[in-house]
Amino acid sequence: MTEVEKMRSGLPADMSVGEIQVRFERAQRLLARMRVMSTYETTYRELLEELLPGIPKSTIVCSPFYCDHGDGVSLGEHVFVNANCTFLDGGMITIGAHTLIGPCVQIYTPQHPMDYKERREPKETAYPVTIGEDCWIGGGAVICPGVTIGDRCVIGAGSVVTKNIPDDCIAVGNPAKVIKKA
């Protein structure tokens, strides 16, 4: 099993190996070029499609945008990702159709060991994050590794989502708690 396969399956992966470093470098080079462009430029869209394979034409990702790999991000139709978002996509990040992602939202899939001695090694695990359809993730929210947010949810600005949120809920706070169910 390759280190990329380990990373995507939630097993500890060695982040220092060449196959992972090449992926980081590729993504960072594309992102650096995109940061000096408007989302309205044809070249921006071409680079975005290279970074995020399979991105629908109806989906918008504003610059600046940051990610680790790019190919670990799957966006549905009519998704809108506002400026200054960070998606650490060692594990898969899947966002459903018609979902709005506010500015400065951070979605993390990597998880480092709790033991400080183990953390000295260049290894990490990654757990997928899934956000359903028709959601609104408020600006500055943080979505932690392994979280699933159901369909039609609203996550309040600045919230830190550490646990799954069921369909049709409004969740706010740190840690985010459901305050309303539809």
Tens place of pLDDT per residue across the chain (182 aa):
999 999 999 999 999 999 999 999 999 999 999 999 999 999 999 999 999 999 999 999 999 999 999 999 999 999 999 999 999 999 999 999 999 999 999 999 999 999 999 999 999 999 999 999 999 999 999 999 999 999 999 999 999 999 999 999 999 999 999 999 97
What's the CA gap between 46 and 43, in Å, rounded?
5
| Residues annotated as catalytic (active site), given as ranges | 112
**Side-chain-side CA neighbours of residue 109 (13 Å):** 29
Q: What is the CA radius of gyration of the chain?
A: 16
pTM of the model: 0.96
Closest of 133, 141, 180 to residue 161, by C-alpha: 141
Nearest 5°: phi and psi at 154?
-120, 130
| Pair of tokens at residue 72 | 């670990």
What's the CA gap between 12 and 98, in Å, rounded?
33
| Pair of tokens at residue 120 | 């000295």
Taking CB atoms within 8 Å and a gap of at least 24, the contacts of 27-31 are 27/51, 27/67, 27/68, 27/69, 27/70, 30/70, 31/64, 31/65, 31/66, 31/67
Confidence at residue 46, expressed as pLDDT on a 0 to 100 scale: 96
Confidence at residue 156, expressed as pLDDT on a 0 to 100 scale: 98
